[in-house]
Structure 1
Amino acid sequence: MSLLTCRGLRKTYGGGHAVLDGLDLDVSEHEVVALIGASGSGKSTLLRCVNLLEDIDDGTIHLDGEHLTDPKVDPDRVRQRIGMVFQSYNLFPHLSVLDNITLAPRRVHRRGRADAEAQALALLDRVGLADKARAFPDRLSGGQQQRVAIVRTLVNSPRLLLLDEVTSALDPELVGEVLTMIRDLKSEGMTMVLATHEMGFARDVADRICFLDGGRVIEQGPPEQVLGEPTEARTRQFLHRIIEAGRL
């Protein structure tokens, strides 16, 4: 059984524009799925709907068999099992790295400070940032801040990690350290769905690539097939433009 199952997702905004238009998606446990497609194709909206940050107009979302889109479901309880990292780091500037990471475990999950800090320090050490625990966000590079943002989601031991263009705000020389961290998470078996414009990274880290267009999954398959031998004309058109831009 899939860890995540989305069926017939529909989401419209003002004017009746359908950002998601009957989208289906299955993600197996320990699988890494990369969402690619032009801006406006529905990648970010899909992630926000899965994390219950956006209400869907139609369709269903199940995680571990639980119906997340049931109106009786508590979104805060769901988000304890789903971690999400955004384009912007969203770190509190007045808190240290350690306090940013342990804020939710201490305030929401009522964990003791010593226990929360021990786990946070272990995670920071794992990603080479233990020496930054007492630093404030403005003393970190963009790549370091994004890695801290990812660690902040990992302290809750999520079943599913959603990554929304996590390298798009970074200078090119800082992208590598974030991508390395995501590769390490994959090797540890983390289930991830990531929206990305980094085609080379998608090819390298994803088990499956889904090409979105018009709010639907138009084509999906192994990276070498979707990026190397796409079967759909719309996928070929999109990749041709990516190649012309030097991004593949």
Structure 2
Amino acid sequence: MTLLSCRGLRKEFGGHVVLDRLDFDVAEHEVVALIGASGSGKSTLLRCVNLLEEIDDGTIHLDGEHITDPRVNPDKVRQRIGIVFQAYNLFPHMTVLENIVLAPTRVHKVPRATAVATAREWLARVGLADKAGEYPDRLSGGQQQRVAIVRALVNSPRLLLLDEVTSALDPELVGEVLSMIRDLKSEGVTMVLATHEMGFARQVADRVCFLDGGRVLEQGPPETVFAEPAEPRTRQFLSRIIEAGRL
């Protein structure tokens, strides 16, 4: 079943075309990794899907609903899509628990006791049960990022978008976040992740999409895209990644 369908997406910033008639689909329970050079459109695509950026042309459908229809309430759509960025964006004056229950109680009107129970359950699942009462600045970067992912998951989103969630972390902390994403995959969470972690994309993704010039230039199973890329531009990109020791 197709959960997300993007057709002919176009997005410009100051006359610069970032997405150029891009087509992109995601099936339910699929994990798709977006790879490509900086400026290829990965983050912009995620922001457009979450309606944080308004597209200039094209359509986006979620569960068959045309979510880029001007009559659609974007806040209602975002309740079904979780997004996590490079920066953790946790409120420093609130405890971990309060950061997590804020949206469920204020936006979704979930009873506080229910929201707290769900938050504690998720924290236990990611090994942070003992951090519920801590403030963000008392956590490591990896722990803060896991809290940010939990905050996106407590609302039971249909789709989880992850935008370079390990790029701001020290190398030794990357593993704990990637381990969490592996666990989410095993639970059937539908995810689209923009990443520079090629080894991880190879291990966890069901499909890899190589973006270049604002389009999906090549896509397929990781073993095919990484081992036998069909497009010269894909081969060029991956050869540089290999030379840098990142694949």
TM range (shorter): over 0.9
1:5 corresponds to which letter in structure 2? S
Shift of 1:115: 1.1
Structure 2 match to 1:8: 8
Q: Equivalences for 1:107-122 in 2 at 5 Å?
A: 107-122=106-121
Distance (whole Å) between structure 1 residues aligned to residue 7 and residue 195 of structure 2: 22
Distance (whole Å) between structure 2 residues aligned to residue 197 and residue 54 of structure 1: 22
SS in 2 for 1:4: strand
Structure 1 match to 2:102: 103
Q: Equivalences for 1:1-248 in 2 at 5 Å?
A: 1-14=1-14, 16-248=15-247
1:40 corresponds to which letter in structure 2? G
What per-residue deviation string (whole Å, max 9, x for no partner) do you get for residues 1-57 of structure 1?
A: 41000000000010x110000100010000000000000000000000000000000
Shift of 1:112: 1.8
What per-residue deviation string (whole Å, max 9, x for no partner) do you get for residues 157-203 of structure 1?
A: 00000000000000000000000000000000000000000000000
Give the unaligned 5+ runs of structure 2.
none
1:61 corresponds to which letter in structure 2? I
What per-residue deviation string (whole Å, max 9, x for no partner) do you get for residues 86-134 of structure 1?
A: 0000000000000000001111111222111011000000101000000
1:164 corresponds to which letter in structure 2? D
Normalized against structure 1, the TM-score is what?
0.99
1:17 corresponds to which letter in structure 2? H
SS in 1 for 2:201: helix
Distance (whole Å) between structure 2 residues aligned to residue 26 and residue 114 of structure 1: 37
SS in 2 for 1:49: helix
Distance (whole Å) between structure 1 residues aligned to residue 167 and residue 196 of structure 2: 8
Distance (whole Å) between structure 2 residues aligned to residue 111 and residue 190 of structure 1: 22
Q: Work out the number of aligned pairs and report it.
A: 247
**Alignment root-mean-square deviation, CA:** 0.5
Shift of 1:229: 0.6
Distance (whole Å) between structure 2 residues aligned to residue 241 and residue 125 of structure 1: 40
Distance (whole Å) between structure 2 residues aligned to residue 109 and residue 190 of structure 1: 20
Distance (whole Å) between structure 2 residues aligned to residue 116 and residue 190 of structure 1: 20
* Percent of paired sites with the same residue: 82
SS in 2 for 1:193: strand
Distance (whole Å) between structure 2 residues aligned to residue 192 and residue 229 of structure 1: 24
SS in 2 for 1:104: helix
Give 4+ residue runs of structure 1 displaced > 4 Å after superposition.
none
Distance (whole Å) between structure 2 residues aligned to residue 48 and residue 212 of structure 1: 15
